[in-house]
Amino acid sequence: MFENISLAFQGIWSHKMRSILTMLGIIIGIAAIISIVSTIKGTNEQIKQNLIGAGNNAVTVQLYQGDEAYDYSWNAIPSGVPLLTEDTRTQLEALDEVELASYFNYRSYAENIYYLNTSFNGKVLGIDDKYFDVFGYYIQWGRNFLASDYEKFRKVVIIDHTAMSSLYPTGVNPIGTCIEIRGIPFTVVGVVDKKAAFEPVINSVEDYETYSQESSGEIYIPNASWCIPYQFDEPQSVVLKAVDTDSMTQAGNKAQDILNGLLSQSTRKKVSFKSEDLLKQAKNLQDLQTSTSQQLLWIASISLLVGGIGVMNIMLVSVTERTREIGLKKAIGAKKSRILWQFLTEAAVLTSLGGILGVVGGIVMARVISRLTTMPTAISVPAAAVAVLFSMAIGVIFGFFPAVKAANLNPIDALRHE
């Protein structure tokens, strides 16, 4: 085997230009495939990150009426939905896929909220003491909610940076100021921010529509004080912190089963708990992106076919040129299998070199595409390894016929060949 490989390199080196031109189809095909696969992988990872964010692994489970989330901003409180207890939280946190569970109330479109004469149209949430930990938030200024804030139903709020920018002029310290929520004053005690800041990558109008978030920010109050501005206790939603990204779907499905078990059969006909399956949304977008790119893969594969035909052609030429050499080897006792493996090895080495050069070219091409188009790319090591092995297979497949022809030469005729 090693002798055959050595002879193959000698043959390639002795005909450098011819070998390079022969490998060109393989190099172009492999480079195109590697760059396309890298673009697909990079785009899919970007889609996943855009939807899930910077690794907080948060899964929201809330009431749905049909296919729409039940929004108390517009709908009456549904009957038959109990308030969630600590026992239910214990069940949720006992799931293998769940690290933390938090309860919250919300208004997706807050009304009658003002700081002086400036109105706020973002989201208002009534949260428990675990909510910020689930989402990876930290208090940048001021303080967090205290246990006494919940016990004494204090009218205090924490705001995020976007809400602060919407409500307060530049340079104004919001800590200690009052915000009116439906005519009731709440004191701002803190400003919250994310530990890992993340913004989706927006490259098109479609991306904006898919990934755009609430632009007016969020205001948080203790969930114990929720009934002060909104008069009634309301069924809570749940947000879970999954142990890792891949566990998010299963964590949401198990949690919704537990929560729906609290509802009567008649209630479940009207409303039910559903989890927000971001991984499924990401997969749907990824599948759409991949199906489009796969058409390009088929086109790129045609150049591999052309490259394989080129290998067959050059190997046939090589057999013709070396007919006397083959005849001499057979005359001194070389078996058919030895001649066959020599030419197969030469074809495989030729295409493997083309595959390696193609992988390098594909990586360079992927980087260039990323720079010129701002499309994300991610190099796939398995794809590169498969590409090299596939190019070797092409050499074996398309080199088989010339190798068989060489092995079957009659030694007497071969020695007489001019």
So what's the pLDDT on residue 208? 43
Question: Are β-strands 184-194 and 156-160 bridged in parallel, bridged antiparallel, or unpaired?
Answer: parallel
Q: Mean pLDDT for the chain? A: 77
Lowest mean pLDDT among 89-98, 166-175, 247-256, 305-314: 305-314
In a domain, residue 96? The reply is yes
- Is the domain of 312 the same as that of 189? no
275 domain residue, yes or no? no
Mean pLDDT of 264-279: 77
Same domain, 173 and 292: no
Give per-residue pLDDT as tens, 71-91. Answer: 776 667 777 888 888 999 999
Residues 252 and 338 occupy one common structural domain: no
- Residue 372 has which token pair? 């010129």
Shared-domain flag, residues 394 and 316: yes
Beta bridge partners of 161: none
If you average pLDDT over each of 13-22, 103-112, 131-140, 271-280, which comes out highest? 131-140
Q: How far apart are CA 202 and CA 182, in angstroms?
A: 36
Shared-domain flag, residues 346 and 250: no
| Structural domain contains residue 79 | yes
Is the pLDDT assigned to residue 402 strictly greater than 90? no
Instruction: Name the packing angle between helices 278-321 and 16-52 (round to 10°).
Output: 180
Please give the backbone phi and psi of residue 242, each rounded to the nearest 5 degrees, phi first. Answer: -75, 155
At residue 127 the predicted structure's pLDDT band, cuts being 50, 70 and 90, is very high
Q: Are residues 188 and 150 in the same domain?
A: yes
Asked if the structure places residue 32 within a domain, the reply is yes
Could you tell me if 319 and 345 lie in one domain? yes
Number of folded domains that form the chain: 2
Residue 124 structural domain: 71-270
- The answer to whether residues 200 and 292 belong to one domain is no
Secondary structure letter of residue 1 according to DSSP: -
Among residues 34, 22, 143, 142, which one has the least CA distance to residue 402?
22
pLDDT tens digits along 168-182: 888 889 999 999 998
- The label of the residue with tokens 């803190």 reads 190
Q: What is the pTM of this model?
A: 0.59
**Owner of token pair 């055959």:** 4
Q: Which one of 241, 270, 299 terminates a domain?
A: 270
> Same domain for 313 and 209?
no
Q: What's the whole-number mean pLDDT along residues 291-303?
A: 63
* Per-residue pLDDT at 210 exceeds 50: no
pLDDT tens digits, 30-57 = 887 787 777 777 766 665 555 555 446 7
Asked if pLDDT for residue 63 goes beyond 70, the answer is yes
- Alpha carbon separation from 211 to 51, 52, 282 (Å, rounded): 7, 10, 11
pLDDT per residue as tens digits for the range 324-383: 666 666 666 667 677 777 777 777 888 888 888 888 888 888 788 777 766 667 777 777
In this prediction, residue 205 carries a pLDDT of 43
